[in-house]
Amino acid sequence: MKYTSRKKTPLKWLNFLKFISLPIQILLYIYVFVSILMELFGSDMLPHLLAPVLNVYGYSANHLGSAFWPILSILLALIILVYWVFEIERGLIKWEGFSTVLWNLYLIVMYILCGGVMVAALMYLPPSTVSTIVMGYLVNFGIKVPASFVSYIPLLVFVVVWLIAGIIYISLNIIYFVRRKALFAKNYSEEVEVEKETSTVEEEKTEETTPSAVEENVEEKSTPTETEDKKIEEQAEPETVEETQDNESSEEKPVEIEPVLEETPKVDPVETEGYTQVISTAIENDTAEVKEPTHKVCKECGSEVLEPDAIFCTNCGKKLDE
């Protein structure tokens, strides 16, 4: 679940970091830095933090020898850590997104440094040396414990538990700030985020209700399709019956043969020896009318005989029929 509203989001851990944890860490690093400096200058006002380690290797605060550069690097690291934690504190107060990244990165770096030192001490230093160093720190801070508590096995168990707890702690912090990433956006607006949150809630409600509504719509759609199929089948049955009846009737009826009318050829006017024979034909509505000549016509040569009393054709000499 991701949070989008600063007013509605639980921020107890964030407030604990801003107002308690981070200020204490800044003060702790400053205390360690001042304590080391005072020890180097020979002051006994604060517990000695370098003496338990220096005494094991035969060094002292007045005679550092080869331990000078490691101690100097520790002082520089403390300055960097103070500035780093201060930037995280400032960024979290101002709701800057990069501050959450700095915090998670800070946890990872400190886990690697502290865990690496403890694992290296158990692996490469003699158990008696490790027990002596731990006992020296406890005595400097006024803590009295039995010597069996600082033997190799209890220290090994402590380191393993610390490593596992560190992984869980870092993972929880990363998840915590990933879910609250929207709260550290540059363009964050409480009104806009509230509107987004309400819209997302409405969308979730609609998503929950849509499956049932979709199922109802599917059921409603399925029933009309069945009725439509029935209607189509009913409509198809009369059509098939009509088609079969038409086919039967078409088989019973005889085929009618339309008569073919032969067109009468048109006769062009024929000129014969000064006589003009005109035969006009007219074909209208499949009928032909031929104008009968006014004089006798020879059936042999087709020429007209102008003399009404002629018996023989004046052209070919054949006898004319009356």
Q: Estimate to the nearest angstrom the gap between the alpha carbon of 16 and the chain centroid.
A: 38
Q: Tell whether 310 is covered by a domain.
A: yes
Q: Tell whether 246 is covered by a domain.
A: no
Cβ-contact 191, 143 below 8 angstroms: no
Q: Tell whether 112 is covered by a domain.
A: yes
Q: Tell whether 242 is covered by a domain.
A: no
315 and 167 co-located in one domain: no
34 and 157 co-located in one domain: yes
Residue 89 burial (CB < 10 Å; 0-12/13-18/19+)?
buried
Q: Which of 188, 218, 233 is the last residue of a domain?
A: 188
Average pLDDT for residues 215-231, to the nearest whole number?
52
Residues present in the chain in total: 322
Q: Tell whether 293 is covered by a domain.
A: yes
Please report the sign of the dihedral spanned by the C-alpha atoms of residue 186, residue 191, residue 195, residue 200.
positive
Q: Which of 119, 153, 188 is the last residue of a domain?
A: 188
Structural domain boundaries enclosing 130: 12-188
- Total number of domains in the chain: 2
41 and 136 co-located in one domain: yes
Residue 195 has pLDDT above 70, yes or no: no
Q: Tell whether 259 is covered by a domain.
A: no
**133/127 Cα distance (integer angstroms):** 10
**301/31 Cα distance (integer angstroms):** 156
30: tokens are: 């400053």
> Per-residue confidence at 313, pLDDT binned at 50, 70, 90?
confident
Would you state the pLDDT for residue 130? 93
pLDDT in tens, 4-59: 889 999 999 999 999 999 999 999 999 999 999 999 998 888 888 999 999 888 88
Q: Which residues pair with 149 in a beta bridge?
A: none
Would you state the pLDDT for residue 123? 94
Average pLDDT for residues 209-215, to the nearest whole number?
51
Q: Which of 158, 188, 218 is the last residue of a domain?
A: 188
Average pLDDT for residues 231-250, to the nearest whole number?
51
Would you state the pLDDT for residue 216? 55
**184/180 Cα distance (integer angstroms):** 7
Q: Tell whether 210 is covered by a domain.
A: no
Would you state the pLDDT for residue 300? 80
Site of tokens 């101002």: 94
Would you state the pLDDT for residue 32? 96
Long-range (24+ apart) CB contacts under 8 A made by 29-37 are 29/78, 29/81, 29/82, 29/85, 30/82, 32/78, 33/75, 33/78, 33/79, 33/82, 36/71, 36/74, 36/75, 36/78, 37/75
Q: Which of 106, 96, 78, 97 is nearest to 21 (CA)?
A: 106
C-alpha distances in angstroms, 20 versus 84, 114, 143, 217, 321?
Answer: 16, 22, 25, 58, 153
Q: Tell whether 282 is covered by a domain.
A: yes
**22/100 Cα distance (integer angstroms):** 13
162 and 20 co-located in one domain: yes
Cβ-contact 134, 150 below 8 angstroms: yes
> Per-residue confidence at 233, pLDDT binned at 50, 70, 90?
low
DSSP SS3 for 277: strand
Residue 90 makes CB contacts below 8 A (sequence gap 6+) with 96, 99
Residue 32 vs residue 314, higher pLDDT: 32
Would you state the pLDDT for residue 217? 53
CA angle 268, 274, 280 (to 5 degrees): 25
Q: Which of 309, 306, 287 is nearest to 295 (CA)?
A: 306
Other beta carbons within 10 angstroms of residue 1's beta carbon come to 3
